[in-house]
Structure formats: structure tokens, C-alpha cells
Structure 1
């Protein structure tokens, strides 16, 4: 039943390859740090550097009603939309839940509005005016993007 084990369970070449991989990773990380190579730019920075201007913006406030509906109001007056419980706009609810969680963590209520912006390059973003966090809605696909894009043209004032 007992077997004598050799001094190594792994082939020598496998250990050498793993060591080379670790050394390469450390070297690459060190080079990036020492050369002060900037990380990939965010869409916000890229738009700023390329001087891409907004085509349309709308400042919105999202509030929950007692019946479970979400009221989306333009801060300049009027209601942009009301999302009843069970409506097929779960993407809006999901995005807003994440932003609300972040606000709660920072002790911020639901009064500060959000800015929905359509950019000249076709991107659509939602920015939390209280935390400064911007969500690039275009990254979530055309169907999800369209749910927010419809709020730009919904009844009520826009810029």
C-alpha cells in the first residue's frame, strides 16, 4: 500500500515555467510603476480630452412611492416617467438601486438629482450629482441604453 514518493510531484519544467511567469509578472508591474505609465483612461476623461460636448442633458430625481412604483421627475418640473412594479424596466431599477446603496454608504439622501447626458459621440451617461459617480449606460447594450435614452425625450423640459 505504501509508495515511496519522489522528491518532486511536479515535473521540473512545470516549476521552471511557473517561476518564469511569476518573475515576468513582477517585472512588468515594476516597469509600469517606475515608468509612470498611466492606467487606461475613463470615458469621462476621454470625452474631456477630446472636447466632446453634450447633445442633450436632463436632470432627474428618482423617488420610490409607497405602492412600489418609481417616479422619475425632472427637477425643473414635470414627471418624466413612472415605473410601476413589474414593468419591464428592471434595468433602471437595478442601476438606481446600486447608486442608492452608494449614497446610503456616504450618508446622502435621495434629494440630490442625477444628470442624464447624451454625448455628441453617441454615448449616454448617468451622473450622480451628489457623489460624482458616472455610469456609462452605452456599455450595457442597446436595449438597456434605450430605457434611459427614452427619459431624455419623455414629456417635460430638457436642455
Structure 2
């Protein structure tokens, strides 16, 4: 009497697939338990923090103020500062969509290691400024040093 072959995969292929699936589960569990392969930020700490507010002027410039003192520390002239203006427009748009006003400050932070971030304290939005290139990061770096 001859055994009939099933219409499925051959037995060695089935065993190989089961072994592969088991191996994937075991490796995922080991990675999860040991933290192997887990990507984290560099553990840097804030080196310099400045609270900023931005206001559009009638002539198209953007006034930049230190939120702690209320003093104007700079302006973004009309037609320049494309990256900075674009980033601020996106953050302002998010505030408008949520029905929030422009009064809450933005948090500009320089971290140990040199990276810069801009956070919106009212929406929780976070922008890694270095992710858009060093020239664009420079646009905001000057606001930390301004007096």
C-alpha cells in the first residue's frame, strides 16, 4: 500500500518554516529583554534653553522676543529666513487647528553635543532642527546667543 502525498508543502519545507518562525520569535524576545538593537537618543542634556515668542509685523517681518523678558532679540525680515519662517508657520498652523492662541512660548534648546530642538509648549510639537541641515540650524542658533 502506497502513502498518498498531500497537496501541501513538502515535509522538509514545513519544518524549515516552523524553525524559521520559532527562531524569529526567540530572537525578538532576546532583543526585547536585553535591549539589543534598541535605538535611543544620545542621552544629552540641555545646555542652553530659551523661551521665545514670535509675532508677525504688518511689514511682513517676524518679531522674535525672549518670552522671559519680553525684549525683542531679533527679527526675521520679509523674504528671508525661509527655513525658520516655514518651521514657525507649521507650528503656528498646528496651534490654529487646535484653537490655541499665539501667546504660549516656544522652547529653543541647545543640547550637549550641539543639536538644536524647537518645542511648542502648547501643542507638544517637537522639531529636530539639525535634521534639516546645518545651514537651517544656524538660523535658530543665532536666537540663543542674541541679547
Q: Above 0.5 in TM-score?
A: yes
What RMSD in Å do the two structures reach over aligned CA positions? 2.4
Q: Which residue of 2 aligns with 1:135?
A: 127
Higher RCO (C-alpha 8 Å, min separation 6): 1
CA–CA separation in structure 1 for the residues paired with 2:58 and 2:101:
17
TM-score (norm 2): 0.71
Q: Structure 1 runs of 4+ off > 2 angstroms?
A: 34-38
Q: Which residue of 1 aligns with 2:142?
A: 150
3-state DSSP of counterpart to 2:74: strand
1:106-154 residue CA offsets vs partner (Å, 9 max, x unmatched)? 1111000000000002110000000111100011111100010010001
The 5-angstrom pairing of residues 10-159 of structure 1 reads 46=41, 50=43, 52-77=44-69, 78-86=71-79, 88-155=80-147
1:53-108 residue CA offsets vs partner (Å, 9 max, x unmatched)? 1111110001111221100100122112112212x311111000100111111111
CA–CA separation in structure 1 for the residues paired with 2:146 and 2:84:
15
Displacement of 1:46 after TM fit?
A: 2.2
Which structure is larger by alpha-carbon Rg, 1 or 2? 2
**Structure 2 unaligned residues grouped into runs of 5+:** 1-20
